[in-house]
Amino acid sequence: MKKLFLIASIILVTLSMRLSAQEMMALLKPDDSKKPVSSSSNLPVYEFRTSPIESQLSEIDSEEITNHVLGETVAKKFYLFERKYTYEVPSVPGNPQSKTMVRKPIVYDAVLRVEKHLKKMVKKGETTNDEASFSMNKVLDTALSILTVDTDGFEKAISKASNNESLTNLFLHQVKLVM
């Protein structure tokens, strides 16, 4: 009985220790521990579920969208983004004027700031049009994916972003979209 308990506890301890190969190598080579740790490893990663939106994009007619500096795909995603994040509410019953409301205004404003920042970077020649288009596609994919999920932590990180560059990096490097 004692042997069985000992074997079971050894197996349990072995299974509960989850060290990756990199962590094991770090334990084996103590000289590497003197290297400074990069700040990017300390940044939180926000993981959100996503689904393919190609079918929704293919339903958008080219006449419905306006041309965009970063390409047709960005224009279609922006159209979809605007359609999902904004809605009209009558200001006063009986009055034909309506008020535009925004779902998740922090995320909405952040996406608009990133778009403006990327356009400026392309205009100044600091980045290529293709790189900016790739970045904007990822930002829009993230925004379209998080519309219906709890994003309190992510919205706090957006609020703490000190400038447009850090906001862009938040969307590009700290968000992981999982199918």
Report residue 11's pLDDT band, with 50, 70 and 90 as the boundaries. Answer: low
Domain boundaries, given as residue ranges, for the chain: 38-178
Q: What are phi and psi of 139, to 5 degrees?
A: -65, -45
What is the DSSP secondary structure assignment for residue 61, as one 8-state letter? -
Asked if residue 68 lies in contact with residue 75, where contact means CB atoms within 8 angstroms, the answer is: yes
* 39-63 burial: b if 16+ Cβ within 10 Å, else e: eeeeeeebebeeeeeeeeeeebeee
Per DSSP bridges, beta strands 86-90 and 98-102 are: antiparallel
The span from the CA of 101 to the CA of 89, in Å, is 7
Largest separation between any pair of C-alpha atoms in the chain: 82
Distance linking the first and last C-alpha atoms of the chain: 47
Q: Which residue has the higher pLDDT, 166 or 38?
A: 166
Specify whether the backbone of 104 is left (phi greater than 0), alpha (psi in -120 to 50) or beta. left
pTM metric for this prediction: 0.72
For the chain, the average pLDDT equals 81
Per DSSP bridges, beta strands 98-102 and 175-178 are: unpaired
Mean pLDDT computed over 97-109: 92
The span from the CA of 99 to the CA of 92, in Å, is 9
176: which residues sit within 8 A by CB, 6+ positions away?
A: 45, 46, 47, 48
Tell whether the model's pLDDT for residue 133 goes beyond 60.
Answer: yes
- What pLDDT is attached to residue 27? 46
